[in-house]
Amino acid sequence: MTRARFLLFILLGLAGSPSLLPAQEAPTITKVDELSIGCWNLLNLFDNHDNPWRPDEGTPPKSQAELRRLARQIDRLGVDVLGVEEVENREVLETLNLYLERPFAFVELIEGNDFRGIDVGILSRLPIVSATSHRQLPLEGDQRFARDFPVFRLRLAPDRLLDVGVVHLKSKRGRGDESDSWRRAEALAIAGIVDRQQKLEPGVPMLVMGDFNDHRDAATLAPLFGRLHDLTEQVPENERYSFVFREKGEQIDFILATKGVVAGSVTIPHDTDEVSDHFPVVAKLPMDRSLARVVLPAGSAPNSSVLPVIDASDLEGAREHLLQEVVIRGKVVKVHRPESGANATLNLHEDYRRAVSIHVPAGALARLGDLDALVGKEIRVAGALHLYKGNPQILWTRPEQRVDQAVKPPRRKAGE
């Protein structure tokens, strides 16, 4: 056995086989002297299957067009480790991994507490030695983590480990005092986990990164920012925002570290093609020794299949394809906009409740051009069906979702 193959055997043995590894090609090992690590809230990365235990019918899965663009942006980040938030399950994270030109060798996600089913996970080119959940940990105020705080242990080298905790703290939705106290309880618990782990293994550095849902000077996050140092402080102040709220940039995504972790550079890339409502945070950590990184061959994205065409007025047919990607066909009778004009909905019937609607979120308005020019015209738009206030709807975010060529209708059931 060659040294390279022996090293590969040892690396893969530490964390199981790489997820969805193409059988026809073997991974390779490369040496790097710098660890590139990032975190990103992927905005409702949901699958196309109905989970009977979660209200996922109300969240639109990403269309194939959005998945391709999201994968392209992750490839552009070029990170070795990416902590991710707002992911429904491990399977959909593995599916996204297939769309990448540079797939990650290791994919992990642990189901958490969120009632909608959004979880946090990790993509890594370095072996994951262990994954520890804290979703059942009692917090101050008789709470649990809103999602979870999983800690992933990575093996950087035979004698070098790194712990990475991925967070998605309680949002500010609901009563402010309740969400604030919940978020502070989460911060206190994470600080306690870090303290205990550092006492047990002071030689293993730790990062805490992800969506903190608050600002660095917020009282809710004081237990963490008083315990760990913020690697993102070196980002120029005018670029230090990871989320835009009411047209104002603010930072709520961070990478925090224990003592001794130094970042050579930290960036918050803003040219991410609006595939999420958050921007990623990326830190490059110089290493005093070479790291062995597992590199997989190019991804193998699922082939685009012929999508069923459903008339907008066929609500029964639409419900039979709930959460599936379809082509909705109908004549635009009205473009409905709220008073704010922040988004738009194409109504395909005089009574919007009697037809599938097509929703255009705020971030997509500029990309899709003059929507009013569509009134009176028949259009076909591909997207995944979800329920909005009990009515089927699809999300239109990209010009390429508009389908102009003929598409085969779904096969009829026997006897119909």
In this prediction, residue 261 carries a pLDDT of 97
Its domain, for residue 367, covers 309-401
11 assigned to some structural domain: no
Q: Are residues 163 and 199 in the same domain?
A: yes
12 assigned to some structural domain: no
In this prediction, residue 305 carries a pLDDT of 72
End position of a domain, from candidates 241, 261, 295? 295
CA dihedral 236, 238, 239, 240 (to 10 degrees): 80
Closest by CA to 186, choosing from 206, 166, 163, is 166
Q: Are residues 77 and 196 in the same domain?
A: yes
416 assigned to some structural domain: no
In this prediction, residue 10 carries a pLDDT of 40
Q: Are residues 232 and 318 in the same domain?
A: no
Closest by CA to 170, choosing from 128, 203, 213, 209, is 213
13 assigned to some structural domain: no
Amino acid at site 408: K
16 assigned to some structural domain: no
In this prediction, residue 1 carries a pLDDT of 40
End position of a domain, from candidates 231, 264, 295? 295
252 assigned to some structural domain: yes
Q: Are residues 230 and 362 in the same domain?
A: no
Q: Are residues 238 and 109 in the same domain?
A: yes
Whole-prediction pTM = 0.87
**118 — phi, psi (to 5°)?**
-80, 130
Angle at CA of residue 93, ends 90 and 99, nearest 5°: 150
Strand partners, 254: 210
Instruction: List per-residue pLDDT tens for the chain, 416 residues long.
Output: 433 333 443 444 434 334 444 444 678 888 889 999 999 999 999 988 888 788 888 898 999 899 999 999 999 999 999 999 999 999 999 999 999 999 999 999 999 999 999 999 999 999 999 999 999 999 999 999 999 999 999 999 999 999 999 999 999 987 778 999 999 999 999 999 999 999 999 999 999 999 999 999 999 999 999 999 999 999 999 999 999 998 899 999 999 999 999 999 999 999 999 999 999 999 999 998 899 899 898 877 777 678 999 999 999 999 999 999 999 999 999 999 999 889 999 999 999 999 999 999 998 999 999 999 999 999 999 999 999 999 999 999 999 999 874 444 444 444 44
Strand partners, 84: 40, 121
C-beta of residue 253 within 8 angstroms of C-beta of residue 278 = yes
In this prediction, residue 6 carries a pLDDT of 36
Sheet of strand 160-168, all strands in order from the earlier edge strand to the far edge: 128-132, 151-157, 160-168, 206-211, 253-257, 229-230
Rounded to a whole number of angstroms, the CA Rg of the chain reads 23
Q: Are residues 371 and 284 in the same domain?
A: no
CATH number of the structural domain spanning residue 333: 2.40.50.140
Strand blocks (E) in 224-363: 229-230, 243-245, 248-250, 253-257, 265-267, 281-295, 309-311, 325-331, 334-336, 344-347, 357-360
CATH number of the structural domain spanning residue 61: 3.60.10.10
C-beta of residue 299 within 8 angstroms of C-beta of residue 20 = no
End position of a domain, from candidates 262, 295, 328? 295
What SS3 class is residue 402?
Answer: strand
330 assigned to some structural domain: yes
Strand partners, 334: 347
C-beta of residue 103 within 8 angstroms of C-beta of residue 97 = yes
Q: Are residues 106 and 211 in the same domain?
A: yes
Q: Are residues 285 and 313 in the same domain?
A: no
In this prediction, residue 25 carries a pLDDT of 62
What SS3 class is residue 137?
Answer: coil
In this prediction, residue 131 carries a pLDDT of 98
- The C-alpha atoms of residue 376 and residue 381 are separated, in whole angstroms, by 15
In this prediction, residue 98 carries a pLDDT of 93
How many domains does the chain divide into? 2
Closest by CA to 384, choosing from 41, 43, 49, 42, is 49
Q: Are residues 346 and 257 in the same domain?
A: no
8 assigned to some structural domain: no
Closest by CA to 220, choosing from 249, 251, 178, is 178
Q: Are residues 168 and 212 in the same domain?
A: yes
Q: Are residues 261 and 339 in the same domain?
A: no
- The C-alpha atoms of residue 114 and residue 121 are separated, in whole angstroms, by 14
- The C-alpha atoms of residue 306 and residue 409 are separated, in whole angstroms, by 9
Q: Are residues 325 and 251 in the same domain?
A: no
In our burial notation (b when 16+ CB lie closer than 10 A, e otherwise), range 229-241 reads ebbbeebeeeebb
